């Protein structure tokens, strides 16, 4: 019975890895589509979002099967519960990559501003997604903490891009305002992807230790009398 459970757990990890790879490719392709004006590639990202949605359903089905049929205990139960939470974040990452692609298809984006930092931000966010899923597969707390720390860099890049856009609009006396709004939306979607990757890393921490960062913080605040 245990051998069958271990095989199914390995299958869960493999499916999570594949879903993470789909998300990573979607982020990269969506950003390239925006920066290089590749409309066909943008359409591919939107179609790929359906594949990510299907992956979420498949993994959810496997998790429920493991919960109902195998009656996992302790650490196994945490791994399955964490996976159910992780796929919600990955599905949203797919949505946000699709939203980035939609910007290109629904606007006349010219990308006349310096957009080097957008590419750097996209690479950083995609790496966070890849490493957060790998941290789960390997049950690697050091890698999970590295992902959490990396979110600070993604946030810093968002702030930098936002300031660059403000300066661009001021310099151009308001010209290019629509493009500036579209670009800030791209950066905001990437910033949110970083947040979702951080969420995944926090669920890795739960699967390894049994503690979840948010729940722990709330408990500490209650103990201190800050939360009723």
Task: With CA atoms as reference, report the closest residue to 15 among 45, 61, 58.
Answer: 58
Instruction: Report the percent of the chain where pLDDT is more than 90.
Output: 66
Instruction: Report the percent of the chain where pLDDT is more than 70.
Output: 86
Q: What is the DSSP string of 116-147?
A: HHHHHHHHHHHHHHHHHHHHHHHT-HHHHHHH
pLDDT of residue 102: 94
147 touches 128 (CB < 8 A): yes
Q: Is residue 194 part of a domain?
A: yes
Task: With CA atoms as reference, report the closest residue to 31 among 161, 166, 163, 143.
Answer: 161
* C-alpha to C-alpha distance for 46 and 23, rounded to whole angstroms: 12
* C-alpha to C-alpha distance for 132 and 148, rounded to whole angstroms: 9
* C-alpha to C-alpha distance for 133 and 121, rounded to whole angstroms: 19
Q: Which residue has the higher pLDDT, 198 or 116?
A: 198
Q: Range of 188's domain?
A: 2-223
* C-alpha to C-alpha distance for 197 and 87, rounded to whole angstroms: 11
Structural domains in the chain (count): 1
Per-residue pLDDT of 11-58, as tens digits, reads: 999 999 999 999 999 999 999 999 888 999 999 999 999 999 999 999
Evaluate if residue 158 carries a pLDDT over 50: yes
- Residue 61's alpha-carbon distances to 5, 49, 80, 134, 187, in angstroms, are 15, 19, 11, 21, 33
State both tokens at 32. 């390239």
Q: Is residue 129 part of a domain?
A: yes
Per-residue pLDDT of 95-105, as tens digits, reads: 999 999 999 89
CATH number, domain at 50? 1.20.58.220
Q: Is residue 228 part of a domain?
A: no
State both tokens at 151. 């979110």
Exposure b/e, 142-175, CB count within 10 A at least 16 = b: ebbebbbebbeebeebbeebbebbeebbeeeeee
Q: How many CA atoms lie within 13 A of 72 on its CB side?
A: 20
Phi and psi angles of residue 227, each rounded to the nearest 5 degrees, phi first: -125, 130
44 touches 29 (CB < 8 A): yes
Quick check: helix, strand or coil at residue 96? helix
* C-alpha to C-alpha distance for 146 and 132, rounded to whole angstroms: 9
Evaluate if residue 137 carries a pLDDT over 50: yes
- The H helix count followed by the E strand count for the chain is 7, 0
Averaged pLDDT of the chain = 88
């Amino acid at each position: 019975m245990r051998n069958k459970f271990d095989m199914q757990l390995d299958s869960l990890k493999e499916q999570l890895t594949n879903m993470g790879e789909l998300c990573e490719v979607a982020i990269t392709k969506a950003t390239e589509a925006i920066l290089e004006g590749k409309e066909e590639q943008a359409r591919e990202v939107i179609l790929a979002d359906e594949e990510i949605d299907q992956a979420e359903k498949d993994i959810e089905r496997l998790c429920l099967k493991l919960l109902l049929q195998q009656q996992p205990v302790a650490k196994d139960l945490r791994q399955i519960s964490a996976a159910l939470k992780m796929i919600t974040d990955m599905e949203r990452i797919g949505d946000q990559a699709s939203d980035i692609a939609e910007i290109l298809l629904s606007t006349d984006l010219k990308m006349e501003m310096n957009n080097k930092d957008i590419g750097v931000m996209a690479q950083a966010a995609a790496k966070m997604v890849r490493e957060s899923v790998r941290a789960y597969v390997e049950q690697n707390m050091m890698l999970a903490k590295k992902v959490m720390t990396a979110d600070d860099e993604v946030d810093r890049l968002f702030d930098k891009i936002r300031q660059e856009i403000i300066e661009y609009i001021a310099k151009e006396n308001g010209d290019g305002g629509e493009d500036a709004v579209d670009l800030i939306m791209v950066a905001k979607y990437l910033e949110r992807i970083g947040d979702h990757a951080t969420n995944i890393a926090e669920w890795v921490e739960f699967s390894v230790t049994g503690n979840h960062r948010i729940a722990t913080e709330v408990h500490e605040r209650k103990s201190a009398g800050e939360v009723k």
